[in-house]
Amino acid sequence: MKIVVADANLAPLRAHLEEAFPTGSQVSWPDPLDPAAVAEAVVGAEVLVSGSCPAEVGAAGNALRLVHAAGAGVDGIDVAALPTGTVVANTFHHEDSIAEHVVAATILLRRGFLTQDAALRRDEWASPAYDAGVPWRDSLGAATIGFVGFGHIGARTWDRFRAFGARGVAVTRRGDVDAAARGLEWSGTTDDLGTLLDRADVVVVSAPLTPETTGLIGVAELARMKRSAILVNVGRGPLVEEKALYEALRDGDIAGAAIDVWYGYPATGATAAPSELPFRDLPTVLMTPHSSGLTRQTFMGRAADIAANVRRLAAGEQLVNVVATA
């Protein structure tokens, strides 16, 4: 079986992945950033492992039977350009790592560790034990966590927060979350977003980005949040209006934000401004480069899923995590 792997995130696991493919597989690793190289490599291949398959690559892959993304997103795969019958599949395994990020970011911001670290580097002890003007901070056990979106990421994150004794509320588009079964105080639809924002000490945004959810949280929504509340966005940047979020943070209308998903990304290389606005100048913002789900464990799980599906293909068995068929 000829297999092409064009995903830079899997390169550190090359030996592990190749060992898990069917015996005798011919595996090539073209530069994922060079579509011409990928198109050349995919000629005659039965499997392409990549979250990107533009029309020219799909057209070159005349023998493709499976295109497998090494993640959840398949929007970079041009299904219409693939040979008829080609299956498109994805994989996840990022929910544990993202949940860890959300809890860690929440603790850093709610407990004021970012500002305490900056102060101590100036020899200032920003603690109520040394400075009566510094306020006491609240633990997670005192918090209500509001989930905007409650899929596998939200649910796994809530499991972690529950261990700290926090309370939880959630809204989703369909409103189909069983609050009692999940240990939440209540759940509703996005029509109930305002009520969630009124109550939550931490707002975790992990909803999918669609035309309907773009700008879901804007000026009016941020104004409903408590001034002591923080926002953690691990969904997509445009779920929260960029200018509205910056101004709310700048003006102290909310206490802080952990932003892992942004409004600008590198077109090539590893350098680009994440926003046209100076979030970097705000001391109450934790900025990370869309890295909340990026751990070795995430990609070990994804590699295992991909290899297992390729083995199923070779054995003529039913594939799993299928999202489309050409």
**317 CB contacts (<8 Å, ≥6 apart)?**
none
Residues 279 and 302 in one domain: no
Residue 305 amino acid letter: D
* Residue carrying structure tokens 């579509």: 35
Residues 76 and 155 in one domain: no
**DSSP states of 12-77 as a string?**
GGHHHHHHHSPTT-EEE---TT-HHHHHHHHTT-SEEE-SEE-HHHHHH-TT--EEE-SSS--TEE
Residues 168 and 101 in one domain: yes
Structure tokens at 216: 């879901």
Residues 66 and 99 in one domain: no
Count of H helices and E strands in the chain? 11, 15
Q: Look at residues 215, 221, 99 and name the one whose alpha carbon lies nearest to residue 162.
A: 99
**222 CB contacts (<8 Å, ≥6 apart)?**
231, 244, 245, 248, 253, 254
DSSP state, 178? -
Residues 132 and 222 in one domain: yes
pLDDT value, residue 63: 97
Which DSSP helix (H) or strand (E) runs through 169?
strand 167-172
Residues 143 and 259 in one domain: yes
What proportion of the chain, given as a percentage, has pLDDT over 90?
Answer: 98
* Residue carrying structure tokens 């940047």: 237
CA atoms within 13 Å, Cβ hemisphere of 152: 9
- How many distinct structural domains can be found in the chain? 2
pLDDT value, residue 153: 96
How confident is the prediction for the chain on average, in pLDDT? 97
Residue 76's domain comprises 2-92+296-325
DSSP state, 173? S
pLDDT at 37 over 90: yes
Residues 110 and 259 in one domain: yes
For 71-110, the pLDDT digits (tens) are 988 989 999 999 999 999 999 999 999 999 999 999 999 9
Structure tokens at 81: 């350009």
pLDDT at 23 over 90: yes
- The CA R_g of the chain, rounded to the nearest whole Å, is 22
Residues 66 and 214 in one domain: no
Residues 10 and 88 in one domain: yes
pLDDT at 268 over 90: no
pLDDT value, residue 183: 98
pLDDT at 162 over 90: yes
For 301-325, the pLDDT digits (tens) are 999 999 999 999 999 999 999 999 9
Cα angle 99, 102, 108; round to 5: 140
DSSP state, 171? E
Question: The CATH number of the domain where 25 resides is what?
Answer: 3.40.50.720
Q: What length is written for the chain? A: 326
Residues 54 and 142 in one domain: no
pLDDT value, residue 73: 86
For 137-148, the pLDDT digits (tens) are 999 999 999 999
Cα angle 51, 294, 310; round to 5: 40
